[in-house]
Structure 1
Amino acid sequence: MQYAPSTSLPATAPNGVTAGVDWASADHVACVVDAAGKVITRFTVEHSGTGLTELVRKLARAAVTEVAIERGDGPVVEALLAAGLTVVVISPNQLKNLRSRYGSAGNKDDRFDAFVLADTLRTDRARLRPLVPDSPATLTLRQTCRTRKDLVKHRVAICNQLRAHLSGAFPGAVGLFAELDSAISLAFLARFDCQERADWLSERRLTAWLKSAGYCGRKDPALLLSRLKAAPRGALGDDGAAKAHITRALLTVLTSLTEQIKALEAQIAEQLMLHADAHIFTSLPRSGTVRAARLLAEIGDCRARFPDPGALACLAGVAPSTRQSGKHKSVGFRWAVNKQLRDAVCDFAADSRRANPWAARLYDQAIARGKDHPHATRILARAWLYVIWHCWQDGVAYDPAKHGALQALIQQDQQAAA
């Protein structure tokens, strides 16, 4: 299979000029250099709508068509792309090392950094790639998925806070159901928010309430009541009433977060169904809806961004960072990565081993070599990315029957069983 062609910059900068923009929260410094590396103009604009318009206007006046910047997203990049400019991303780590080219001090200065960005775009064109934005559908899906993930973090934090509070205010409610933030548990706390109200329950009353609340019936009401009675007594009287107010406050926040997460999940499902690449990621084992949407959103739909599987694995942080000098060679954890992409890929890989024998074998082999769970998951994620990349580049769904390594393993197991 041929790898996808990579986008590249022309051998020389159009109009013989390149620009660098050092962005900040309050203002942005731009620098324009000519073909000889001489500064043509340098200016500062505010971080506002007017400032970004002025930035684009001054770059156009200097005949700039290519701009180097430290990040690939945000209002500045959107303004530059909207103006039809070619944007090249040079990461902050690269910029830090590039400063030594022009002096030994290595001090951080916005005006100097803008010059370094512009001059690096002039001299290192063969190694730089223009930024190609994802489609609006992918950008929207990515924002929705990341928002859901942030809300899930908040839900976990509030749930932990509620559990800590209930351990003193109403211990019986903590371990009554499997999950404290489950629908039945939240409904129980909304009805019985303190020890005194729970004391009213009998087996018959609890049975009737569970039926009215739509409980699945996994646990017998007698068992649930025995758990409630066996737990330490909660706060009573005025103290119990005061703590019940806190319980209700935390419960309201937790319930609201749970409802909004469900609403976002419904939105994610709709956006995923309408996306052109949905069939690729939903075909992966145990990908589901949210997991498939996260993979799609973080990988994107711009094929030229990852000319080979290794580029995708490096950005996802599942490929080790190797350093070699003379006889010394070290392999370490890769830190400069897209953490959202790494989380999405590792989350998928960790669960895929439960439905795919090939994934389970790779994971078990890594554990047998002494790797811990996170390391073994990254090893499996790297292998999966090579499979996903080929499906993604060809626009085809994952087919276990065409997965050579999986079929070879299945055939080997069948022969051993025979």
Structure 2
Amino acid sequence: MKSASNTLPEAPPNDLTAGIDWACDDHAVCIVDGRGHQVAHTMVAHTATGLRDLITFLGRHGAGEVAIERPDGPVIDTLLAADLTVVVISPNQIKNLRSRYGSAGNKDDRFDAFVLADTLRTDRPRLRTLQPDTPATVALRRTCRARTDLVNHRVAVANQLRAHLRNVFPGAIGLFSQIDSAISLSFLTRFATQHQADWLTPTRLGAWLAKHGYSGKIEPSVLHARLIAAPRGATGPHADTQAHITQALVTVLTTLREQIKTLAAQISDQLDAHADQHIFTSLPKAGRVRAARLLSEIGDCRAKFPTPESLACLAGAAPSTRQSGKARAVTFRWACDKQLRDAVTNFADDTRHANPWAADLDQRARDRGHDHPHAVRILARA
């Protein structure tokens, strides 16, 4: 893990600072001197040649420090490879900093590049240099985020399947605990319509469940009773046409489950190979995927979190306080690292099931009238 200081020197090299307004196709670049005067500006294309021109432009004018709005991507890799100092200033900060230079609030890429460069010149004590994570951490982060995206996609498709079945085959919705479980998807593959399900009896259903290795503790007679008690679904030609939609959604969910499982195995292998894995796997109820998410989102450079409060704020676990005169409001912290917040709160939510201290803290928050998400953020901050 990295712990080196990431503070800026009192003065920039050559008394020059640069700002880059990142975009998809091209990037605006501005260089200012120690008095805030624009020395040079240019536009570079987001191509291999354009990025080489960017480094040449900065080197020709002697700019050694660069402010930019995002912490990753080819532009960042190019700047770091050229041994330039990179400082990340969030888009929300830039939005507020524009008011320094006028009240119109106009948005212009070249002007934003100037704002970035000038802020790097004036606000140096409050800014920190970017400390890139190791390749192992970056790879782990990307794998974890890809798995999270697939899980969210699976939930969305499962909701779509549930809404579809509510109209054409209601009995399949509450048959098993989860609509996207392996046994539920197998059932819908074989019995996609009400007519096909009408063939089932408790004995036939029991035989089918045994063949597919059903591990639930509910008797086939109870499951069959659920099918009978549910509203009847569509039958006839209409049911056959709707079955194609059911099968399409089931196929998507089956593929998603397989790929999520594959990524989970890859995450476990990458976690085993990481130098810091023992720290995060030792946490209560951390598991494998959750520990990997915490490790990858917090990153290697612990110096960017000088206090526990700084980590809580970046993760959105600490509230935002606004006070003017006698008026004081404590509100939800919207400006934060959303990926880090999801990882930290997901971990905190599960610790209450294994750790008595966490369970007590969560219960006391609920007793004070906080809802579940608020109580989890309180636990995450603690």
- Give 2:323's aligned amino acid: Q
SS at match of 1:313: helix
Tell me how far apart the structure 1 counterparts of residues 232 and 368 of structure 2 sit (CA, whole Å). 49
Instruction: Report the Cα offset of residue 266 of structure 1.
Output: 0.8
Tell me how far apart the structure 2 counterparts of residues 348 and 240 of structure 1 sit (CA, whole Å). 43
Tell me how far apart the structure 2 counterparts of residues 215 and 183 of structure 1 sit (CA, whole Å). 9
Q: What's 1:116 paired with? A: 115
Tell me how far apart the structure 1 counterparts of residues 252 and 79 of structure 2 sit (CA, whole Å). 40
- Give 1:337's aligned amino acid: C
Q: What's 1:328 paired with? A: 327
User: Map of 1:220-299 to 2, 5 A cutoff?
Assistant: 220-299=219-298
Q: What's 1:180 paired with? A: 179
Tell me how far apart the structure 1 counterparts of residues 344 and 216 of structure 2 sit (CA, whole Å). 36
Instruction: Report the Cα offset of residue 304 of structure 1.
Output: 1.4
Q: What's 2:145 paired with? A: 146
* Contact map agreement 1:67 1:85 (CA 8 A) in 2: yes
Q: What's 2:314 paired with? A: 315
SS at match of 2:41: strand
SS at match of 1:106: coil
- Give 1:354's aligned amino acid: H
Structure 1, gaps ≥5 residues long: 384-418
Tell me how far apart the structure 1 counterparts of residues 328 and 168 of structure 2 sit (CA, whole Å). 57
- Give 1:44's aligned amino acid: M
User: Map of 1:12-23 to 2, 5 A cutoff?
Assistant: 12-23=11-22
User: Map of 1:199-210 to 2, 5 A cutoff?
Assistant: 199-210=198-209
* Contact map agreement 2:6 2:130 (CA 8 A) in 1: no
Instruction: Report the Cα offset of residue 5 of structure 1.
Output: 6.4
Tell me how far apart the structure 2 counterparts of residues 226 and 27 of structure 1 sit (CA, whole Å). 63
Cα gap change, 1:90/1:249 in structure 2, threshold over 3 Å: closer, same or farther?
same
The TM-score, its normalising length taken from structure 2, stands at 0.95
Instruction: Report the Cα offset of residue 152 of structure 1.
Output: 1.0
SS at match of 2:86: strand
Q: What's 1:197 paired with? A: 196
Instruction: Report the Cα offset of residue 231 of structure 1.
Output: 2.1
* Contact map agreement 1:148 1:261 (CA 8 A) in 2: yes
- Give 1:48's aligned amino acid: T
Task: Provide the aligned C-alpha RMSD in A.
Answer: 1.6
- Give 1:67's aligned amino acid: V
Percent identical among aligned pairs is 66
Q: Residue 367 in 1 paired to residue 370 in 2?
A: no
Q: Residue 352 in 1 paired to residue 351 in 2?
A: yes
Instruction: Report the Cα offset of residue 123 of structure 1.
Output: 2.1
* Contact map agreement 1:6 1:306 (CA 8 A) in 2: no
SS at match of 1:162: helix
The TM-score, its normalising length taken from structure 1, stands at 0.87
* Contact map agreement 2:141 2:296 (CA 8 A) in 1: yes
Instruction: Report the Cα offset of residue 183 of structure 1.
Output: 0.8
Tell me how far apart the structure 2 counterparts of residues 233 and 370 of structure 1 sit (CA, whole Å). 42
* Contact map agreement 1:186 1:255 (CA 8 A) in 2: yes
SS at match of 2:154: helix
Q: What's 1:47 paired with? A: 46
Tell me how far apart the structure 2 counterparts of residues 41 and 117 of structure 1 sit (CA, whole Å). 14
* Contact map agreement 2:16 2:32 (CA 8 A) in 1: yes
1:50-74 deviation digits (Å, cap 9, x = unpaired): 2222112211221221101122222
- Give 2:302's aligned amino acid: R
Instruction: Report the Cα offset of residue 236 of structure 1.
Output: 1.7
More deviation, 241-250/324-333: 324-333
1:377-414 deviation digits (Å, cap 9, x = unpaired): 1111001xxxxxxxxxxxxxxxxxxxxxxxxxxxxxxx
User: Map of 1:22-61 to 2, 5 A cutoff?
Assistant: 22-61=21-60
SS at match of 1:132: coil
Q: Residue 11 in 1 paired to residue 10 in 2?
A: yes
- Give 1:294's aligned amino acid: R
SS at match of 2:87: strand
- Give 2:290's aligned amino acid: R
Q: What's 2:162 paired with? A: 163
* Contact map agreement 1:45 1:52 (CA 8 A) in 2: yes
Cα gap change, 1:329/1:5 in structure 2, threshold over 3 Å: closer, same or farther?
farther
Instruction: Report the Cα offset of residue 217 of structure 1.
Output: 4.6
Tell me how far apart the structure 1 counterparts of residues 4 and 307 of structure 2 sit (CA, whole Å). 9
SS at match of 1:319: coil
- Give 1:355's aligned amino acid: A
Instruction: Report the Cα offset of residue 104 of structure 1.
Output: 3.4
Tell me how far apart the structure 2 counterparts of residues 206 and 98 of structure 1 sit (CA, whole Å). 66
Aligned length: 380
Cα gap change, 1:162/1:280 in structure 2, threshold over 3 Å: closer, same or farther?
same
